Amino acid sequence: MNNRLYGKLIFELSKEGRKGYSLPRNRFEGYEIPQEICRGQEAQMPECDEMTVVRHYTNLSQNNFGVDNGFYPLGSCTMKYNPKINEEMAALPQFQNLHPLQPDDTAEGARAVMVMLERLLCQLTGLQHFTFKPYAGAHGELTGLMVIDNYHRSQGEWQRKKVIVPDSAHGTNPASAAVCGLEIVEVKSTSEGLVDLVDLERLVSQEGPNIAAMMMTNPNTLGLFERQIPEITKLIHDCGGLMYYDGANLNPMLGACRPGDMGFDVMHINLHKTFSTPHGGGGPGSGPVGVREGLQPFFPVVSPYHGNFTVMMRALAYIMTLGRDHVKEVGPLATLNANYIKESLKDVYELPISGLCKHEFVFDGLKDKSTGVTTMDVAKRLLDYGYHAPTIYFPLLFHESLMIEPTENESLDTINGFIAVMRRIAEEAKNNPEMVKSAPHDTPIGRVDDVLAAKHPIVTYKQLINDAD
């Protein structure tokens, strides 16, 4: 890194007496702050001039990789194009300055946004009612499962506590079911990567009266369209269970088919995935839950206010910018891009499940296993070339999963550039495996110990000093 400020903490740049601000004259003279709420000693704050502060944080921000810096083919999480117009809409002061506790009749505009968005989501999904309260997909799953649990209890069917979850499911599915107090029953995948109907029939005949629901993601986390949904929904409905649709992968379905028409009763949508909003690092999100007619009385109270409003604002702007006709192009373009990458790389990366995928697909590491270069090494080496790594080691069905999702809006040039680099890394793995194994070489920090960082995070300056002592 060529910047001399790089690598220092703001505290280390501090010089006693330096200032980058001046406070306005005290307009409340004569008003004394009560002693008991004052600090006992001076706050330990860094003292820096304005330019040092600006440069420090600007440099830090440039060490971060985002979808605005470069290609970000993260599968399952859909870090997609976030049109800047959406940011402008979400930043309108009339919306930004709303308070969740202000009287409803002073927030009619915000209410109109939510009503319009609900109507559009109903049209796109074929379900009848949505709640916007959940703050993320996982929160939506919990909310949706609570709807299902409430419904079964209302029918006097207290014993319905089993939730069938495919072995390819995202980890939040079983986690949400567990948090909801339900029991997880895993259904296997076939060698083609789809739900194994024979295994499902076995589970249904064993557990029938105890089945609360089955959760499904479609296209599933391998990027494959589950072709047997009609058979599956019939099996589950016939034994009295409900169908839950994990809508994290809704984007390739937009305008083409609808979960409601396929027999799903409850679903969540990840507005921050399918309908834009940059969401790296865990937020912000919105996981509205939709239900078919008759289930809306069972919505639980999962948050005190109205949900993450500016994410809704971005989703509305995204859908309205595309319009009815163009929203249908999202799926085919994302699918084309994914298949193009898959076909261009499958001679050097191991493709465990061949055939057409939807918006994303999974490789099982490099084809040539003799080099010892792992998926982790490939992901780290990609950083040197200025690409964000794909999703790695998920789904758990393969040892060396490398899950690539290009989204619909990347240009052919960008995609070709990525393919060329992936091929080059495969070459390097053969000719100079040690170099790939020790990547990244060109990033501000080299390979970090993920486990140590998670187990022993150092998040305050003070702790750093204490640890040094």
Query: What does the binding site for ligand PLP look like in residue numbers (CB under 6 A)?
Result: 76-77, 136-138, 170, 172, 217, 221, 246, 248-249, 270, 285, 287
User: Which lies closer to ligand PLP via its Cβ, residue 76 or residue 401?
Assistant: 76
Residue 143 contacts residue 300 (beta carbons within 8 Å): yes
Least distance CB 457 / ligand PLP (angstroms): 20
User: Which lies closer to ligand PLP via its Cβ, residue 56 or residue 268?
Assistant: 268
User: Which lies closer to ligand PLP via its Cβ, residue 179 or residue 419?
Assistant: 179
**DSSP bridge partners of 266:** 244, 291
**86-124 burial by CB neighbour count: b if 16+ within 10 A, else e?**
bbebbeeeebeebeeeeeeeebeebeebbeebbebbbeb
**Mutual orientation of helices 412-431 and 375-384 as an angle, nearest 10°?**
120
User: Which lies closer to ligand PLP via its Cβ, residue 138 or residue 415?
Assistant: 138
Peptide bond into 406 cis (omega under 30): no
User: Which lies closer to ligand PLP via its Cβ, residue 73 or residue 137?
Assistant: 137
User: Which lies closer to ligand PLP via its Cβ, residue 286 or residue 337?
Assistant: 286
Task: For strands 391-392 and 401-404, give the pairing.
Answer: antiparallel
User: Which lies closer to ligand PLP via its Cβ, residue 100 or residue 171?
Assistant: 171
Q: Where are the alpha helices (DSSP H) in 159-308?
A: 172-179, 197-207, 229-238, 271-274
Least distance CB 89 / ligand PLP (angstroms): 21
Least distance CB 166 / ligand PLP (angstroms): 11
User: Which lies closer to ligand PLP via its Cβ, residue 287 or residue 288?
Assistant: 287
Residue 135, both tokens: 């703050």
Residue identified by tokens 């009266």 is: 209
Query: In whole angstroms, what is the distance from residue 290 CA to residue 272 CA?
Result: 16
Least distance CB 141 / ligand PLP (angstroms): 7
Residue nearest ligand PLP, CB atom distance: 137
Least distance CB 306 / ligand PLP (angstroms): 18
Least distance CB 260 / ligand PLP (angstroms): 19
Least distance CB 3 / ligand PLP (angstroms): 34
Least distance CB 285 / ligand PLP (angstroms): 5
Least distance CB 146 / ligand PLP (angstroms): 16
Q: Which residues, 6 or more positions from 159, have their beta carbon under 8 angstroms from its beta carbon?
A: 209, 210
Residue 444 contacts residue 59 (beta carbons within 8 Å): no
Query: In whole angstroms, what is the distance from residue 46 CA to residue 293 CA?
Result: 57
Alpha-carbon dihedral angle through residues 58, 61, 62, 68, given to the nearest 10 degrees: -120
Residue identified by tokens 């703050």 is: 135
Query: In whole angstroms, what is the distance from residue 426 CA to residue 431 CA?
Result: 9
Least distance CB 90 / ligand PLP (angstroms): 18
Query: In whole angstroms, what is the distance from residue 77 CA to residue 398 CA?
Result: 19
User: Which lies closer to ligand PLP via its Cβ, residue 118 or residue 141?
Assistant: 141
Least distance CB 136 / ligand PLP (angstroms): 4
User: Which lies closer to ligand PLP via its Cβ, residue 137 or residue 406?
Assistant: 137
Q: Which residues, 6 or more positions from 232, have their beta carbon under 8 angstroms from its beta carbon?
A: 195, 197, 200, 214, 216, 226, 243
Query: In whole angstroms, what is the distance from residue 159 CA to residue 138 CA?
Result: 24
Residue 287, both tokens: 């996981």
Residue 19, both tokens: 């200032």
Residue identified by tokens 């084809």 is: 367
User: Which lies closer to ligand PLP via its Cβ, residue 137 or residue 144?
Assistant: 137
User: Which lies closer to ligand PLP via its Cβ, residue 269 or residue 426?
Assistant: 269
Residue 8 contacts residue 44 (beta carbons within 8 Å): no
Least distance CB 172 / ligand PLP (angstroms): 4
Residue identified by tokens 């999904």 is: 125
